[in-house]
Structure 1
Amino acid sequence: VRAAFAARTVETETGPLRCTVSAGFAFGSSDGMSFDKVLSAADKALYAAKRGGRNRVLDFRRAG
């Protein structure tokens, strides 16, 4: 999805714009990890992706 989105350009009055996507993801497990904790982990991964140069997808385990 990220690569397909990044391959697109949007034409504007001032010229073409390149599109990028940053995303973070996390998985819950059967050990009782709450939805809020999973959401928080994904949010941390998202902001780590943005800090890391944008246009990337990070797993919360690699987000630091």
Structure 2
Amino acid sequence: MNKSLRDQLKDWKKQRALEKQSKYKKKNATPSKKKEEKLSDKDLRELMGTNRPTYARGRGGAYRQK
């Protein structure tokens, strides 16, 4: 005899819940390790912009290098 639609829906929800749990466990079973980026002193200075030329506004709105 066939199950009623309500019973089929309950079975489907149970099965769906088990699939979601197994997928969640698989994803978090092995945490990925991120490699730390090691930057040299020169690279850090370049990122901060300390090696760039500096400009100032002069008379007439012109930019001039200091």
TM-score, normalisation: structure 2: 0.33
- Larger Cα-atom Rg: 2
TM-score, normalisation: structure 1: 0.34
Q: Which has the higher helix share?
A: 2
Q: Which has the higher strand share?
A: 1
Higher RCO structure (Cα 8 Å, ≥6 apart): 1
